[in-house]
Amino acid sequence: MLAIESLAKRYSKKEDYVLKDINLEVKQGEFVVILGTSGAGKSTLIRCINRLIEPNSGQLYWYEKNIRKLKKNDLRRYRRDVGMIFQEYNLIERLSVLTNVLVGRFGYLNYLKILLQNYSEGEIKLAQEALARVGLAGYETAKVRDLSGGQRQRVGIARALTQEPRLILGDEPVSSLDPVTAEKIMSLLTEINQKQKITMLISIHNVELAKSFANRIIGIKHGKIVYNDSPDNLNKKMLERIYS
């Protein structure tokens, strides 16, 4: 579904490339985990995929369509297909849980409807189902700022589900959570991956967590892919290659 060809990115001409010659394919239904040290280029890679960051060179294909060339409305339409969850959840703190989840519909609606918060019954139902899916049924009117970290990430996942994506990107979605909560969130993502057939591409810090949940692991070091295989083959030597 997604193909990345010789992707490269540097933030300024004075700095080194953060990503150098990344080649990667993601197939529908996969649960891919990206491993790597801080600064290896994980966040940049993930943000290049939905073009929150513009790469300098290389190509990106989404179902054979070149997405580097997409302009305004086409880019927005593509982004609807690609959900994203974040390390710091990136919710609107002062607003309610339901309002935050309905943000997932912003790619489908015109501005006036968004401004007036004029959603159809179907859309509200979709948001409520997403909340139920992540275990937060009944939390619609709660304020985000009153929630715990784990609950916040669940709202983040519900927001992504509400946009009805085919792929969910995750930029270290469990790195700010305690180990038990992190595992629960990973299980939830696995469930969504298996039952709703939504592909996952997620970066993670914790090697054990990556091994127990991923179908495939990508190791990144200094902006290059140094490992791209099943978690079973990720032995000590390979780990050293990623983390040394």
* Binding-site ranges for another protein (CB under 8 A): 50, 52, 75-80, 82-84, 86, 88-95, 103-108, 111, 114-115, 156, 159-160, 163
Residue 85 to residue 163: CA distance in whole angstroms: 12
CB of 167 to another protein, least distance (A): 12
Q: Decide: 167 and 1 in contact? Cβ < 8 Å.
A: yes
CB of 106 to another protein, least distance (A): 4
CB of 226 to another protein, least distance (A): 27
Q: For another protein, which is the closer residue by CB, 47 or 222?
A: 47
Q: For another protein, which is the closer residue by CB, 116 or 180?
A: 116
Q: In residues, how long is the chain?
A: 244
Cβ within 8 Å of residue 143, ≥6 positions away: 94, 95, 96, 97
CB of 50 to another protein, least distance (A): 6
Helix axes 121-133, 149-162, angle to 10 degrees: 140
What is the per-residue burial (b if ≥16 Cβ within 10 Å, else e) of 139-153?
Answer: beeeebeebebbbbb
DSSP 8-state class, residue 14:
T
CB of 221 to another protein, least distance (A): 25
166 three-class SS = coil
Q: For another protein, which is the closer residue by CB, 52 or 238?
A: 52
**β-pair partners for 84:** 169
Q: Decide: 58 and 66 in contact? Cβ < 8 Å.
A: no
Interstrand relation of 167-171 and 82-86 (parallel, antiparallel or unpaired):
parallel
Q: For another protein, which is the closer residue by CB, 100 or 225?
A: 100
Q: For another protein, which is the closer residue by CB, 68 or 80?
A: 80
Residue 9 to residue 165: CA distance in whole angstroms: 26
Q: For another protein, which is the closer residue by CB, 30 or 171?
A: 171
CB of 25 to another protein, least distance (A): 22
